[in-house]
Chain A
């Protein structure tokens, strides 16, 4: 079974631009979560989607948004990019059928904002 895939793997943008990152979960998985990883702040939770509904959100500004499609694929969007948005963005998926599910991570998208 294929793992979690994320596209693109690398991205360079300039300040003020916007960016969309994509995450395809493991087949059959219905929950997708997003995390931002930076050297200074470590791994921080962005948001989580289940059955096309956001069921939890981290403490990030409104410039960060996401959505989930009916096939469970998820996208996150960052508008008006700032230098501090440079990070590795990880998504994770799980079956979400019971509370004992494990999350599996994708390889990440590395975003550099110049």
Chain B
């Protein structure tokens, strides 16, 4: 079974600075997807960024980028120019590319609370 680990339960960053959230995962599969989801106090889970394991290029979405190290099974999220609105819980998630019957089941890490200080 796949597992996702987020070892830092909390982090803080100053507004406008850069912060990196770490995530490691364990799998025997070679083809899969990785995601970072954000959950603000409203509890709405919002997709931040996704990475396909077969792509060597790291995904980027505006101020958000990832550092995907497949051999090390590491998937970190870098937030540049942090904004107050970035304050939230961040979850790393794994999904098999060829899940049972086409399943899209997500396996989540425990999450990390990010505080942005003005």
Binding site for B on A (CB under 8 A): 31, 33, 35, 42-45, 48, 50, 55-56, 58, 88, 90, 92, 94, 96, 99-108, 110
Contacts and interface: CB of A to CB of B under 8 A. Distances in A.
Contacts, number: 64
Interface of A is mostly: strand
A56 B103 contact: yes
Interface of B: 33, 35, 37, 42-47, 50, 52, 91, 97-111
A88 B39 CA distance: 12
A55 B100 contact: yes
A33 B98 CA distance: 16
B65 to A, nearest CB: 18
**Smallest CB-CB A-B distances: 9 pairs:** A105-B45, A56-B103, A43-B108, A55-B101, A42-B110, A45-B105, A108-B43, A107-B44, A56-B105
B104 A88 contact: no
Contact of B97 (A45, A50, A99): A99
